[in-house]
Structure 1
Amino acid sequence: MRHRYSILFFPLHVIVDFLSLNTAFVGAYFIKFQQLEAVFQPPYTSLWVLFNVVWLAEILVLKPYIYPRQLFKAYHLIKKLLILMAIHIAIISVYWVAVKGYYYSREHLFITYILFTGLAAAFRIGSVLFLQEYRARGYNNRRYVIVGYGKLAASIQSFYDTHPEMGFRFHGYFDQPSADNKGILRGGYDDLYACIESDGIDCVYCCMPYIDNGRMKTIVENAENVDYQVKLLVDFRGFLARGASVEYHDFLPVLSLSSQMLADFQVNTLKRSFDILFSMAALGLGLPLFLILAAITRFTSKGPIFYAQERIGQEGKPFKIYKFRSMYVNSEKSGPVLSGGLLDARITPWGRFMRSTRLDEVPQFYNVLIGDMSVVGPRPERQYFIDQIVEIAPEYRSLLKVKPGITSIGQIKYGYAANIDEMVQRLRYDLLYPKRRSFLFDMWIIAQTLRVMAQGRGK
């Protein structure tokens, strides 16, 4: 009989865990009280029985000893053990409060769980090490074949060849013979079932790119009679790297491909929550400073305090961006012109100071609060300049997939751009953001921005 010892793994785990639990309970009592008589008498017998009943219930309900070979690793086993322990502790705690069992020693309970965790974890680690070595020596194997030959098929064979501790042994490729697979196949589709019966094959991997649905259906239907597993190999690697997700239409899995690489719910939720809190704090706590900046802007040059301009935001949606005015009025009456840096004659003396310290950007916290922008993100540009940038660097379009920000890597490393070529150079920095975006990375960019502001190095 194949794998005649595998059936023993489940009862062995159960027996060892119960032995560990009871040894820990009695051993902890001895460590605490230096005697064992009372542990066999009420009220400790009731608690002892409950310990075992709760653990048995967890085994029956959660089935913690059922796992595939690929997950038979110390990390997964210890993690599952800790989950079981947490549930066990919670139930015993509820019982302790319900019966007002203050006569039970808390130190005894604490030592019991420490001992049990140590014993159970030691057994699991020992089991992993033993089985890995046992399987690497050629015992307790699972025999598999691959139907459909190609790069994907070769990759699964390579994976198991480099992990002999998993105990998977390769028994050949099966496919329609051709010039590409000559000398590689063990046989064609008609030879597959004879191999399964003669070699006692446990698992048949079907490579979806290289096998048609009709043949795969036959393989699946035959599995019920011959007793082997069928596993499908689908090459999602290129899609998953582009932000694909799996949806379920009733029982039918559907792979959803999206160009929105950064539609990660957790990151976006955390980022938006931070944006709201940070912008509210900045606008609230910085109000006295903003009033001073507004007054100085108003009295140092003629014109409005704020400057509003249309920019392009996420997914190409236009919005109005707000700044403290740093240029003389009507500086662009002849058409859109990029700033020539701090020496640009259109910039007011006070505007040069605000630009070097980035204080002119402060009103954009209002844009953040209403959702047009984020605190951290690529700088938004006007459509007029975007059209010119895209002609030189088409990859700029990827930046429109994320929300623009007040500060960015490009603003820190490069600063303001005076022409299209400089905008493209700054773009090289900003293109790093979508690939590395995270909450901690945002914090680093904000810290660097504050340093630039304090040093007055904005340009």
Structure 2
Amino acid sequence: MRHRYSILLFPLHIFVDFLSLNIGFVGAYGIKFGTIDPVFETPYATLWWVFNLVWLAEIILFKPYIFPRQLFKADHLIKKMLLLMALHIAIIAVYWVAVKGYYYSREHLVIAYGLFAVLGIAFRVGGLIFLKEYRARGYNNRRYIVVGYGKLATTIRGFYDAHPEMGFHFYGYFDEPNDETSDLLRGSYSDLLEYVKVNHIDCVYCCMPYIDNNRLRHIVDGAENVDYQVKLLVDFRGFLAKGASVEYHDFLPVLNLSPQVLADFRVNTLKRGFDILFSFSVLSLGAPFFLLVALFTRLSSKGPILYAQERIGRDGKPFLIYKFRSMYINSEQSGPALSAGDRDSRITPWGRFMRQTRLDELPQFYNVLRGDMSVVGPRPERQFFIDQIVEVAPEYKNLLKVKPGITSIGQIKFGYASSIEEMVQRLRYDLMYPERRSFMFDMWIIAQTVRVMMQGRGK
């Protein structure tokens, strides 16, 4: 029987996690109280049972130990464990409040979860190191072939060659012979099933569009008799980077190549709801502070308190952005010009302080309420400068697919740009946002912005 030891990984994983959980619980009691005898008696024995039952329920519901080899990596395993542990902590906290178990030691629980995390992570890292060495010696490996020769076929082979720890061994290509086929061609489609049977092949990768549907169906039907996996390779790399998704029309899968990440309803709804709530809170609670900043702005130099300027928003739509005026009036009589930072004589002394602390951006919360902007998003620019940036970096157009924001990664990592070259440098940071945006990522950017404001490090 091939891979007879692989089946042991699942129960071993469960056993070690339960062992780690119980060692953590009992060991933490010993560390806290200097003895472990009372942990076997009420009320701690009850809590001990609840600890194990909650973990068992999580295993049954979420099946955390079932994943392909491609995801058998330290970061994935540890992340999954920590997520389950966080849920476990939340459920135990609810149980604690429900039974009014204030007699349980919080320090004991903290130590218990700490020990559990250390043991669980150590097992996962140690297990991966062992498997890597074990597979390097030729054990616990999978044999695979690729049907349909072309660039996609060489790509999947290159992937497994670069990751020997996954234990996939290449056994050749299958295709109809022609001038472009490789020396590693093991035969034509008619030879495939016999080759799979004789060489105990575990996985057959079929590359589209190099193989037609009739031959693919023949390979799939043969898997029932010879016992191998069939995996379909389709080259969607250029589309998936833009956020493709699969839709099902009855039984027919349809690939949606529109930028799904950018149009995702849940993300947009949650983001807009947060924008409204956060902006309304800032404008309401910060009204006295806003009036104070406005007073200083009015007294520091002649001119209006607020400054309005046309910027380009989502999908190229222009809007008026509002800021506390940080420059002397008529600073752009000769035409649009970027700020030269601390060396810019157009900036007032008070304006320089506002820029360092980002206070000049506060009126833009009104833009957020109007829907022109978001709290987090790439900074909007004027069309005059966008035209120049696009000539150097056409990828800037990707930023116009999302709503601009008051703060962004570029603002945190780079700050204000004083030239087109610096705008392009800042662009490298802002381009990360459309692909990675999420509620938690927005919270991280806001926290970093507050830190920059408090430290007065705005550039």
Matched, 1:244 2:240: no
How much does 1:193 deviate? Answer: 0.9
User: Map of 1:363-402 to 2, 5 A cutoff?
Assistant: 366-373=366-373, 380-381=381-382, 395=394, 400-402=400-402
| Alpha-carbon separation, structure 2, partners of 1:370 and 1:97 | 42
Structure 2 SS opposite 1:9: helix
Could you tell me which amino acid in structure 2 is paired with residue 131 of structure 1?
A: L
1:217 aligned partner: 217
1:185 aligned partner: 185
Identity over aligned pairs, percent: 53
| Alpha-carbon separation, structure 2, partners of 1:49 and 1:360 | 57
Matched, 1:435 2:431: yes
How much does 1:69 deviate? Answer: 1.8
Structure 2 SS opposite 1:196: helix
| Alpha-carbon separation, structure 2, partners of 1:167 and 1:144 | 10
User: TM-score w.r.t. structure 2 length?
Assistant: 0.68
Question: Which stretch of the first structure deviates more once superposed, 107-116 or 65-74?
Answer: 107-116
| Preserved CA contact (<8 Å) 2:390 2:397 | no
Stretches of structure 1 that go unaligned for 5 or more consecutive residues are 343-349, 416-423, 455-459
| Alpha-carbon separation, structure 2, partners of 1:225 and 1:132 | 31
Could you tell me which amino acid in structure 2 is paired with residue 207 of structure 1?
A: C
Choose from 414, 419, 428 the match for 2:418. 414
Question: Rg bigger for which structure?
Answer: 1
Structure 1 SS opposite 2:187: coil
Stretches of structure 2 that go unaligned for 5 or more consecutive residues are 340-344, 434-440
How much does 1:101 deviate? Answer: 6.0
| Preserved CA contact (<8 Å) 2:143 2:201 | yes
Matched, 1:173 2:170: no
Could you tell me which amino acid in structure 1 is paired with residue 211 of structure 2?
A: I
Give per-residue Cα distances to partners, 1:8-62, cap 9 Å, x unaligned.
22333344444555555565666645474x6666666655555554444444343
Structure 2 SS opposite 1:211: coil
2:438 aligned partner: none
Structure 1 SS opposite 2:169: strand
Structure 2 SS opposite 1:338: coil
User: Map of 1:226-375 to 2, 5 A cutoff?
Assistant: 226-241=226-241, 243-249=242-248, 253-258=253-258, 265=267, 272=275, 285-287=289-291, 290=294, 312-320=312-320, 326-327=329-330, 338=335, 366-373=366-373
Structure 1's 106 and 369: CA in aligned 2 closer, same or farther, altered over 3 A?
A: closer
| Preserved CA contact (<8 Å) 2:204 2:230 | yes
How much does 1:138 deviate? Answer: 0.4
| Preserved CA contact (<8 Å) 2:146 2:204 | yes
Question: Which stretch of the first structure deviates more once superposed, 266-275 or 111-120?
Answer: 266-275
Question: Which stretch of the first structure deviates more once superposed, 119-128 or 223-232?
Answer: 119-128
| Alpha-carbon separation, structure 1, partners of 2:360 and 2:89 | 57
2:73 aligned partner: 73
| Alpha-carbon separation, structure 1, partners of 2:176 and 2:212 | 11
How much does 1:277 deviate? Answer: 6.2
| Alpha-carbon separation, structure 1, partners of 2:82 and 2:119 | 13
**Aligned-pair Cα RMSD in Å:** 5.2
User: TM-score w.r.t. structure 1 length?
Assistant: 0.68
| Preserved CA contact (<8 Å) 1:174 1:185 | yes
Structure 2 SS opposite 1:413: coil
Structure 2 SS opposite 1:244: coil
Give per-residue Cα distances to partners, 1:211-245, cap 9 Å, x unaligned.
2233223322332332221222222322233x223
| Alpha-carbon separation, structure 2, partners of 1:20 and 1:142 | 30
| Alpha-carbon separation, structure 2, partners of 1:162 and 1:318 | 48
1:149 aligned partner: 149
| Preserved CA contact (<8 Å) 1:147 1:207 | yes
Give per-residue Cα distances to partners, 1:141-176, cap 9 Å, x unaligned.
111111122222212212222222211111111122
| Alpha-carbon separation, structure 2, partners of 1:104 and 1:289 | 50
Structure 1's 43 and 290: CA in aligned 2 closer, same or farther, altered over 3 A?
A: closer
How much does 1:180 deviate? Answer: 0.9
Could you tell me which amino acid in structure 1 is paired with residue 149 of structure 2?
A: Y
